[in-house]
A and B are shown apart, each in its own frame.
Chain A
């Protein structure tokens, strides 16, 4: 399964490092990554492949929540199909 992970928050050093380190530890492969500032917020969008992940989805969400709290950002994970369904005819 592929998913889109979105990280939104106040810009500061180390956000990408914190998220990508955590993903690497869980064998989540980053396929694509982009970073912009939208409405003065740091926004990082990552397309990831979860097929080799060594924990289940629920646990991944929990760990992402922990990173979010530690770094002070909001992290959302949604299935790639959600974006395809809503944005592609």
Chain B
């Protein structure tokens, strides 16, 4: 036998017991060539291009799943940030764009479509501003469309005018979906240093430097890493790092296999593999439990940032060895509602938003899927976003904020978002005013390390 029984058993268990899956095949589609002065024509072109490019995406994904015996959970589409496309028709009637995107997503059968987006780190065009103002209604009126904004980069600094607008959009999106605990806000994320090739939602968009059509793959596997750490309770931390690295290598190779097959069969460019430990609410699929298995009583305990740094770093190193095209966010996500361990740690008071903020300095994304009281003001949200952007900008990394001010919700109450989005207790937020600061507007300049030329 070319494989040993142990290799077969270990590989098999990753899928059958440890929830290893390919989280998503995401097709990026360039829509720049769909821009048109006539909105009806622009909408028709957008619909035609998406449905033509992605017509076989779901079918090909299902076939690869059947052939390999590897679960592929989602098929998704990401598009050119809509602000770049909608400007030609005057940037008006943006909801019609959102509705057309929803229709295209429904018709090709994908789970999500990302790219109701704008890149505004340097400043806002009139269309950018209209897109941000349209986001709440666009999200409330659709099911699959996701919105994202890039508010800051390490080169440009932080656009604080856009931060303010984004905070208001988050607040309004939550209020427009009050009957579903502010669900619409869960499909919106704001970034510093947003990657242009991210396959994960809500932040996926097809960056303007990408080829016309491309497929990216996002692999997940907190459960596999958890089992790896669990097997060796006596291991030192450098031994744990080594074990995680090897596991990450094996997981990423699956992503590489799938992206090769998908690109070839769909006849589009091969994109990146994003190995992100993306937890799900399922027991045994939690990042928090990995940190706890390393010896913490609960996530958020002193030592959590160090444990996460070890984890994130080892995941990246293993992934880089396994694929020559690692991209996206690659690392570890630390969402609260999507991770049963994080939600439990938040409930017992071990995990606070301030500790999460510290952890975002070394995780792969940021403050993710955090429910806060409905009484939280847009200014406070803007302050939270500005802090998170500052961490990303000054450390040359991606950071993001996906926060849900639950309408009518109070700290300590549980909210259900359902499905992969999970459930979480509403976390108390420091409400000391930052109004004077965030309302100054303007641009926070980039760090001196931005001037490398």
Contacts and interface: CB of A to CB of B under 8 A. Distances in A.
Contacts of B3: 4, 45, 83, 87
Contact of A79 (B9, B67, B250): B67
Interface in A1-46: 1, 3-4, 6, 32-34, 36, 38, 43, 45
A36 B9 CA distance: 11
B11 A76 contact: no
B123 to A, nearest CB: 45
Interface residues of B, number: 23
A85 B8 CA distance: 12
Contact of A82 (B2, B5, B68): B68
B257 A81 contact: yes
Give the dominant DSSP class at B's interface: helix
Among A4, A33, A47, A85, chain B packs the most CB atoms within 10 A around the CB of: A85
B1 A76 contact: no
Given A6-B12, A38-B9, A87-B11, A78 B69 contact: yes
Contacts, number: 66
A86 B254 contact: yes
A83 B70 CA distance: 11
Contacts of A4: 3, 8
B345 to A, nearest CB: 31
Contacts of A85: 253-254, 256-257
Contact of B66 (A58, A82, A87): A58
Contacts of B66: 57-58, 61
B231 to A, nearest CB: 14
Contact of B69 (A36, A45, A77): A77
Contacts of A82: 11, 68-70, 254, 257
B395 interface: no
A4 B70 CA distance: 13
A4 B11 CA distance: 11
A87 B7 contact: yes
Nearest to A46: B1
Contact of B5 (A3, A34, A58): A34
Interface in A41-88: 43, 45, 47, 57-58, 61, 76-79, 81-83, 85-87
Nearest to A85: B253
B433 interface: no
Given A57-B67, A82-B257, A85-B254, A45 B2 contact: no
A77 B11 CA distance: 12
Contacts of A33: 1
B375 interface: no
B253 A43 contact: no
Contact of B9 (A3, A32, A43): A43
A77 B68 CA distance: 8
Interface string B1-30: 111010111011011100000000000000
20 contacts: A4-B8, A38-B5, A38-B9, A47-B1, A47-B2, A57-B67, A58-B66, A76-B16, A76-B69, A78-B70, A82-B68, A82-B70, A83-B11, A85-B253, A85-B256, A86-B11, A86-B14, A86-B253, A86-B254, A87-B3
Given A78-B70, A83-B7, A86-B14, 17 more contacts: A4-B8, A32-B2, A34-B5, A36-B5, A38-B9, A43-B5, A57-B66, A58-B66, A76-B15, A79-B68, A79-B69, A82-B69, A82-B70, A85-B254, A85-B256, A86-B250, A86-B253
